Structure 1
């Protein structure tokens, strides 16, 4: 068992609670993204023991963060929204140099790669102008229709979680399920938690294989999409220009903290690239 993944999973679970912040991006920051895809895809392969040993501690950490911090995240976003978002903005900006270096952009990117990157960036940035239907209030009881809907919402969210730059929570927000998910976690509504969770697990298993295939068969184009999505996600979570000297200083410190953490984990020395 790779028990150090408990902390990695806890960090990823924390980010997955926040709309606009991608757990996939944090996996890149932590240097475990490709191993994560490999382990999910190989759960039932010949190396299943190694993959389970990687994923079990990671999953425990993620679940622990989601259960323990759902109310904390609600509090931070409600009472300290700008510093929280600036921290994650720094985290996202800090991972871009590593991806650019790993993709060897100068050598491998042609005009078409740059165009795809820009299209991905614009598409992701445009999500900043979208919002889900939050006025209906959270669901607290299941029907046949809502069970199917919540399952596939979890499936879509898990696909987003595996793509750096795309937030699973933001997808839930777009389809109007985020309030229901957060309320279920805060009140331990297990039928709803299990329904969404099963969708997430199914999405993880199938979409990880697709992403691995794309990275193996079309690496440069996949990197172009990933870099565009991550860069565009900054526009989704950026809280805007803040006012007041104290607020500006706190937000700047939060931004630099996120940037420093991401650049430390993504340094050439640590990643070997």
Structure 2
């Protein structure tokens, strides 16, 4: 992979995509990997991560900083992860507030994003044979199995945080699986939020080390799968997205909750309900019309990004 020639505006766009990925990863049930797929940076992201290995240190000594930095696509990674980190600290708070105030509309918007990305990915598929259909069903079943799992509770020891970071970041890479949702399942979501709130550096370092290890190891494995078993892997990823529509269903009823370090209620387990029964079960209006509108906005956003990206590509080729 040769690093694309980008202008400052291009890197600002990458930063914006990172902001969206970070905001998505904070929300249990939504994957930053899905956003990467939607915005067309997934392959470049994985390929860049694949090159960040210990061997780069030898290249740094032999070839110098400039060549090594270009080899790992450093500008792209800094812009993308800069956006993710900024979002985790700032924009994600807006998303969480919106979820507290307008949960149905936010989940409807996410459902629109996922539905459109399913269409986008399915078009990339080169054919649907028996193995592809099996992969699709496997992906759906896997996401549904995770969503039905009862949450566990693990202690916040360093090595457990390392494993939590490893698994969570692998989930972030995969479209349709939310890293924060995985943390919720194993009971580490409140622990992680508490560590951020209190700046517990040791815990954050353990978690960060797990994330970095997961990025380096799992990105290589996923790239190998996409190269060696493209159709089958893509069908599983589509299955992940289809299954995640169950997770992003807007009308939910909380079954089990906890309180995070900021005093906010965090839902650990919930069930989907019919919007026409929503008012009777929860005592809250389902706002069905607005939800449908926001779902269409999510679809339009993805399709609009795709149209704009195609226009930019054609214009650059014409130049």
TM over 0.5: yes
**Gap change, CA 1:53 and 1:232, over 3 Å in 2:** same
Question: Is residue 227 of structure 1 aligned with residue 238 of structure 2?
Answer: yes
Check conservation: 2:26, 2:180, Cα contact below 8 A. Answer: yes
Of the three residues 138, 149, 158, the one matched with 1:119 is 138
Question: What corresponds to 1:86 in structure 2?
Answer: 108
Paired with 2:237 and 2:112, the residues of 1 have a C-alpha distance of: 17
Question: Is residue 204 of structure 1 aligned with residue 183 of structure 2?
Answer: no
TM superposition shift of 1:70: 4.7
TM superposition shift of 1:246: 7.5
What is the SS of the residue equivalent to 1:207? helix
Question: Is residue 42 of structure 1 aligned with residue 51 of structure 2?
Answer: yes
Of the three residues 176, 179, 182, the one matched with 1:171 is 182
Largest Rg, 1 or 2: 2
TM superposition shift of 1:165: 1.0
Paired with 2:295 and 2:312, the residues of 1 have a C-alpha distance of: 23
Question: What corresponds to 1:181 in structure 2?
Answer: 192
Which has the larger share of strand? 2
Deviates more, 1:214-223 or 1:74-83: 74-83
Paired with 1:25 and 1:195, the residues of 2 have a C-alpha distance of: 26
Check conservation: 1:127, 1:236, Cα contact below 8 A. Answer: no
Q: Which runs of 5+ in 1 are unaligned?
A: none
Query: Normalised by the size of structure 1, how large is the TM-score?
Result: 0.87
Q: Which runs of 5+ in 2 are unaligned?
A: 1-7, 60-66, 252-274, 314-319
Q: Deviations over 1:113-149 (max 9, x none)?
A: 1022112112212322224247x9xx7xx6xxx1100
TM superposition shift of 1:103: 1.4
**Gap change, CA 1:5 and 1:90, over 3 Å in 2:** same
Which gives a bigger RCO, structure 1 or 2 (Cα 8 Å, sep 6+)?
1
Check conservation: 2:104, 2:250, Cα contact below 8 A. Answer: yes
Paired with 1:57 and 1:29, the residues of 2 have a C-alpha distance of: 18
Question: What corresponds to 2:310 in structure 1?
Answer: 269
Of the three residues 253, 256, 265, the one matched with 2:296 is 256
